[in-house]
Homo-oligomer: A and B are copies of this chain.
């Protein structure tokens, strides 16, 4: 026992001294493979080059600079992974973990699965952190998820000086674009890799792209044009929570028809809003969410009756469980709620995508 403790002490001191960021080499992350991008952009960590699209609401433009859903794919034999990155001076959100808002989240391929490895804690505008260290030095495949709620202006990956690093493939096939609210963007997830589009990608091997626009997924006609123009094999619309019953009636048919016009055959999957837990007590809020879900169902049924094909509705009963503990604030799922949501929607979405031959094998 005593020998083991001495050994641990020696290894710890050695590793700590060998794994300060100052002793590593840093490489710009955009030399590697970018995963989860809506389209190529001038700043590689933005989701959309918004000057390509006319008339977008200012808040939408701002949110599209956030790196939500973007990850870096690389492989290295380094026994330590570090990062330097800069975000904005924007304030901490009251209902988000700073790591999810502005930090990093590292996964490593373990057999056929992506497995969590470590986070990059955010402490200021520019940050320099070891994400994981003291590993063996076999070559491994990595996915580094970027901040959900901020713009990344610089990102470098740090490895041991004697290690090699190279771009890896995009591990996910096809493209399924998820347009939606803060629940898509990831409010309530504890780390960037826990946002539900990222979890769906790892669970299915299909490339789910995060077009979450917190508070601003309101199906404006200009946004419909932008969404329709993004290359995708399927669309998921999870925007009901950001609207109101009247807006749904007013905008849904146009939004879906705009996508359909440019994408004649691909599946469009519409999701009802999950329940708002505070709406159980707040009668006005509860009624409003029920009415939003009734109205979206009416709109989808009407489009189906008019003959639109490959249009699907996912209803939301008990999507986040029945113990009322699945939210961070009454509105946004916490990781428990997201896990229940993933259990519920993954087979439904996979069935639809499979039918359209959108699969990873």
Chain A interface (Cβ < 8 Å from any Cβ of B): 1, 4-5, 8, 11-12, 15, 92-99, 103, 108, 115-119, 121-123, 132-136, 188, 190-191, 194, 199, 245-246, 249, 277-278, 280-285, 287-288, 291, 324-325, 327-330, 334-339
Contact B97 A123 (CB under 8 A): no
Residues of B near A190 (CB, < 8 A) are: 188, 190, 328, 334-335
Residues of B near A8 (CB, < 8 A) are: 245, 284, 287-288, 291
Contact A277 B15 (CB under 8 A): no
Residues of B near A108 (CB, < 8 A) are: 281
26 contacts between A and B (CB under 8 A): A1-B249, A5-B291, A8-B245, A8-B287, A11-B284, A12-B288, A92-B92, A92-B98, A94-B97, A94-B98, A95-B99, A95-B121, A97-B328, A99-B328, A99-B329, A108-B281, A117-B330, A118-B281, A118-B329, A119-B329, A134-B283, A134-B285, A135-B283, A188-B190, A194-B334, A325-B335
Contact A136 B335 (CB under 8 A): no
Q: Which 4 A-B pairs have the closest CB atoms?
A: A190-B334, A335-B336, A334-B335, A94-B121
Query: Given A116-B327, A118-B329, 6 other A-B contacts at CB below 8 A?
Result: A94-B122, A97-B97, A117-B280, A132-B281, A190-B334, A191-B334
Given contacts A134-B285, A245-B8, contact A95 B98 (CB under 8 A): yes
Contact A330 B118 (CB under 8 A): yes
Contact A123 B135 (CB under 8 A): no
- The residue in chain B whose Cβ has the minimal distance to the Cβ of A131 is B278
CA distance A334 to B190 in the complex (A): 7
CA distance A108 to B118 in the complex (A): 37
Could you tell me the distance in whole angstroms from the C-beta of A322 to the nearest C-beta in chain B? 11
CA distance A15 to B281 in the complex (A): 13
Copies in the complex: 2
- The residue in chain B whose Cβ has the minimal distance to the Cβ of A338 is B336
CA distance A207 to B190 in the complex (A): 28
- The residue in chain B whose Cβ has the minimal distance to the Cβ of A94 is B121
Residues of B near A12 (CB, < 8 A) are: 284, 288
Could you tell me the distance in whole angstroms from the C-beta of A74 to the nearest C-beta in chain B? 16
Given contacts A92-B98, A325-B116, contact A284 B134 (CB under 8 A): yes
Contact B288 A132 (CB under 8 A): no
Residues of B near A330 (CB, < 8 A) are: 116-119
- The residue in chain B whose Cβ has the minimal distance to the Cβ of A193 is B325
Contact B278 A132 (CB under 8 A): yes
Contact A95 B95 (CB under 8 A): no
- The residue in chain B whose Cβ has the minimal distance to the Cβ of A277 is B116
CA distance A335 to B118 in the complex (A): 17
CA distance A247 to B11 in the complex (A): 18
- The residue in chain B whose Cβ has the minimal distance to the Cβ of A118 is B278
Contact B94 A99 (CB under 8 A): yes
Residues of B near A95 (CB, < 8 A) are: 97-99, 119, 121
